[in-house]
Structure 1
Amino acid sequence: MSKLLPTRTDATVQRSGDPAVLCIDDEETQAVFSALSSETAYEVFQLLNEEPATPTAIAGRLELSIQNVQYHLENLQDAGLIEVADTCYSEKGREMDVFVVSTEPTLVFLGTDDDRASLRRAFKAFSSLVGPPAILLAIGETLSRLLAGE
């Protein structure tokens, strides 16, 4: 007999295009630093960066209590670093949230809000310098793979 309730998820992370830029003087930046300040929270975030997971799965993989995982998930969620992407069910039929890293990438800029315009100029200059050579390298690598028979 097939199961009526899904015990696995097919949740994935689809990153949006533009990252949120947080400056050192933003309240959001302080929340991000605070949420990632403990080694356990950082490990939970890294695990979610690799794949979506339920609190129970995280607790099992990191050998932590479910209460400890729930605490760190709440802090990471409040900081906007992770979000609930899906719901699945345990073997006992209990509803479980599936967490993923936030779909909006975040860039922490160690300058003030007043420096934001200079940051944008620096990124534009960097991308114009890196763009053409990176394209040429990618074409060269593709051609070498084709010629090598990969």
Structure 2
Amino acid sequence: MARLLPTQTDASVERSGEPAVLTLDDDTTRDAIEALSSETAYEIFRLLNETPATPARIADHLDQSLQNSHYHLRNLEAAGLIEVTDTCYSEKGREMNVYVVADDPTLLFLGTENDRPTLKRAFKSFASLLGPPSILLAIGESISRLFTGE
């Protein structure tokens, strides 16, 4: 028998190309650090970075109570780190929110807004140093996986 209400979601984690940059002189940074300071909240954020999930799925995955998962989800959402992307329904017909990471990627820069030009120069230098070697490492790893069957 077909279900009238969806019990699964087809939401996916969308990756944007532009990172959000959090700096020390921004209140959003403090909120993000406070929200991620709990081990449980950190693990929830990591899970949602990989795949969208409902509070019930998160609770099962982390072996936590549903109430504890809801508590950390509210804190992460209030900090702007996650957001509701979809809704699905439990087997009992209860509506469940589906959460994902809000802005991805996010860069935590331990400097102020005035230091951003220095940050850009540092990234350009870093990218130019790692560009060719990182390509060679990726090729080498791919070849290694091909021969080892991993």
State if a TM-score over 0.5 links the two structures. Answer: yes
Describe how 1:1-150 pairs up with structure 2 within 5 A.
1-139=1-139
Cα pair distance change 1:149/1:92, threshold 3 Å: closer
Unaligned runs of 5+ in 2: none
Measured in 2, the distance between the counterparts of 1:34 and 1:8 equals 31
Distance 1:120 1:93, change over 3 A: same
- Alignment partners' CA distance in 2, 1:128 and 1:118: 16
Does structure 1 conserve the Cα–Cα contact (< 8 Å) formed by 2:83 and 2:99? yes
- Closer, same or farther: CA 142–51 of 1 in aligned 2, 3 Å: closer
Taking every aligned residue pair, what percent have the same amino acid on both sides?
66
RMSD over aligned Cα atoms: 2.1
- 3-state SS of paired residue (2:92): coil
Gap regions ≥5 residues in structure 1: none
Q: TM-score scaled by structure 2?
A: 0.87
**Post-superposition offset of 1:87:** 0.9
Instruction: Compare 18-27 and 131-140 and name the one that shifted more.
Output: 131-140
Structure 1: which amino acid aligns with 2:91? Answer: E
Give the superposition deviation at 1:128: 1.5
TM-score normalised by structure 1 residue count: 0.87
2:17 partner SS: coil
User: How many residue pairs are counted as aligned between the two chains?
Assistant: 149
